[in-house]
Structures are given as C-alpha cells and as structure tokens.
Amino acid sequence: MIVVEIAQRARLNESICGDVVSVTTKPSGVLIAVADGLGHGEFAHEAARTFCDFAKQHAEEAIESIVASSTAVMAKTRGAAAALVDFDEEQKIVQFVGVGNIELRSLSKEKICPISVPGIVGASLRRIRSFRYNLNDDDLFIIFSDGISSRFALEEYRSLTERQLADRILVEFGKSHDDATCVVIRVDGFQTASSQVIA
C-alpha cells in the first residue's frame, strides 16, 4: 500500500497555487505527478494542471514518454517544472523523471537520489533522464517544489506521521514569496493484487 499526503499553499497574497499534484492509481501501483507552473497565480496553475491531467490520462505509458509527449500540449501554456514518480508494487521498483526545480529525497533501504534535468516542460528539452531503483517496505519519500527550502534533514522528521511530516516541512521551510508544495509518500507493505492508495 502506498500512503500519500500532500501539503501546499499559494504564494503570499495569491488566491490560487501555481503548483499542482495528481495521484493516479494503476493496476501495478501509483503514479504521482508534481508540477510547478512558471510564475504565480491562475496561469501558473493552468500550466501545472495541464501537465498533471496529461500524466493522469497517460499513466500507463513509460514516464519518459509521458514527459516527452506532453510537450505539445504544454507549449500552449506558460510551461512548468515537473516530476513523475512511478511506484510499481508488482515489480517493487520506483522510477523518477524530473525537469526543472522539483526535488525528491528519501529515507530508504537502498540509496535513492535522482536528479531533475534543467529545463521547462513546454519548451524544447535537450534530454529526459529517468532513474530506477528497488523499492522496499517502509521506504519514505518526499517530493517538493522550489517553494520549499532544501535546507532540512529528513532524518530529523523520521518519527512523524506522513501528514505531520508534510505539514511541518511546509510550515518550517516554505517560502512566503513562492508557491510551495510538499508530497510525502510511504510504502506500507505491498499489495498482492491491485494497489491501494491512502491519501
């Protein structure tokens, strides 16, 4: 079972957040999309929502293919920094692809430290790079936009619940001048049939 908690807020004095998250359940597991639309406000939100909706509609495709094929639809928007994380409970693997300032950290049995390539989804991308790792029970992941300062030690928050962790990171490290999003994911055992999500 994949447990997901999301905490986010808009930039100070903005009524709508330019970051969007989607969580899509698949027969094999869960696909999580995180997008940070360029700028702030309604048009940033529209760009981020466009990417996440596209990812949800194409969730069964390879994550590199989703990002590559989203370029055409994203070109009609401001563009976005974005990341996809695919949790395959059947094969017990996790895959990551990121473009721009979306970061993933983990507390995991194996070292998991993917990087996002420079660029904007919706503009020309020179390359798309994916990372693949083994997935283990009780692995913990945090994905965050650049509205969250990266100056935190995840180990210090190990004892918190997923909800508490997402909220604490947002409150303690969120930047008031930017939209901010924190997604916390924990592997809580593996399903033998279809995956379940608690969110």
Q: Give residue-wise pLDDT tens across range 2-34.
A: 999 999 999 998 999 999 999 999 998 999 999
Q: Give residue-wise pLDDT tens across range 141-190.
A: 999 999 999 999 999 998 999 999 999 999 999 999 999 999 999 998 87
Sheet of 180-187, strands arranged across:
102-107, 140-145, 180-187, 2-9, 197-198
* Structure tokens that stand for 166 in this block: 């997402």
Domain at 107, CATH number: 3.60.40.10
Query: 37-47 in b/e burial notation, b at 16+ Cβ within 10 A?
Result: bbbbbeebbbb
Structurally, the chain folds into a number of domains equal to 1
* Model pLDDT, residue 197: 54
**What does the alpha-carbon distance between residue 91 and residue 151 come to, in Å, rounded to a whole number?**
33
Find the domain containing 62 and state its range.
2-198
Amino acid at 133: Y
**What does the alpha-carbon distance between residue 162 and residue 159 come to, in Å, rounded to a whole number?**
9
